[in-house]
Amino acid sequence: MNFYIIDDDVTVRSMLAQFIEDEALGQVVGESEDGSLLDGETLNIQKVDILLIDLLMPKLDGLETIQAIKPTYKGKIIMISQVEDKELISEAYLLGIEHYIIKPINKIEVLAVIRKVMEHVRLEKSIHDIQQSLNSVFQLNSKSEQSRPEFKDYSIKHYGQFLLSELGISGEAGSKDLLDILAFLFNYEKRNTFEQGFPSLNVIYEELAYQKLGLSIDAAEVNKEIKASKQRVRRTIYHSLDHLASLGLTDFSNILFEKHASHFFDFSIVRKKMLEIKSESSSSVSVSTTRINTKKFIHTLYFESKRMMSE
């Protein structure tokens, strides 16, 4: 596993490198005192799996560095800083970091976080390897099979997970429900196509509830699970709306904002949420006043995942 460390304190860089080397976690392929001379492509060329970065630095701080490298850098980011400001920490997570560790450095905590992120990297690489292997198998399909859309059901959740990550909700409770919905729709389309339209959300939730609880479960438990699943999904979609609105408020030309905001939501809703955040009045506004279209979000998530699979 390859690491890169950015911190203006040479002692901190030395300590982090020592932790990594002593525990045989990998190798530190580069260090710098700030992010002014760094770009995402350079990190990719060096095959950096995990970037450790400080928040406050003299020329280009941690948040600015992440904004600069994130569009191209494909690895994971851990921020280590003495700053405990909740707004700055939230902004760091919105920009896509995996973890935020407060200084002074605690070796046990740092190693535990690094190992957790390493496991995430290995899991993604394993999925990618499986995908590549199965791609080779699918290329051997007959011409009659190739004349049909080539859907890879083994990876629909993988692409969905990638999109949820870009939408800022990969760690939310409802993300698993959304991935299960993707798999259900994928299998449904293979069996029935969508000539008669999408199955209703109620049908989807009911089918998934029975899959989770078993066919012999009583109706009351099924209804309870359906209600809980709907709530998890709606809360998760609201979090995505908050995430995209925050990105747009910070930078209207943000790549993820431009790419996803108007696709997953009606832009009038996104704009309303941006105004709420800007006026700092969102906390006094009931969530129910901001309407979201769950069906639109799920349909977009499905078709975007399928589009990525075909590329």
- pLDDT recorded at residue 252: 76
Over the chain (311 residues), the average pLDDT of each successive run of 10 is: 91 92 91 83 87 88 88 89 84 87 89 89 78 65 42 67 87 91 90 80 91 84 93 94 88 83 88 82 48 90 86 63
The structural architecture, per CATH, of the domain 2-120 is: 3-Layer(aba) Sandwich (3.40)
Residue 59 burial (CB count, 10 A): 12
Alpha carbons 102 and 109: distance in angstroms, whole number: 10
- pLDDT recorded at residue 144: 39
At residue 301, what are phi and psi to the nearest 5 degrees? -60, -40
In order, the DSSP letters of 148-169 are: S----TTTHHHHHHHHHHHTT-
Q: Cα dist. 294→15, 237, 246 in Å? A: 47, 7, 20
Alpha carbons 213 and 304: distance in angstroms, whole number: 29
- The answer to whether residues 256 and 166 touch, using CB atoms and an 8 Å cutoff, is yes
- The answer to whether residues 77 and 47 touch, using CB atoms and an 8 Å cutoff, is no
Q: In whole angstroms, what separates CA 144 from the centre of its chain?
A: 36
Helix 267-278 with 255-264: angle, nearest 10 deg: 120
Q: Going by C-beta distance under 8 Å and a sequence separation of 6 or more, which residues neighbour residue 105? A: 12, 15, 16, 80
Domain-by-domain residue ranges, the chain?
2-120, 142-310
Structure tokens at 279: 């006026």
Alpha carbons 81 and 102: distance in angstroms, whole number: 5
Q: Cα dist. 297→13, 293, 303 in Å? A: 43, 6, 10
Residue type, 67: Q
- pLDDT recorded at residue 88: 85
- pLDDT recorded at residue 139: 61
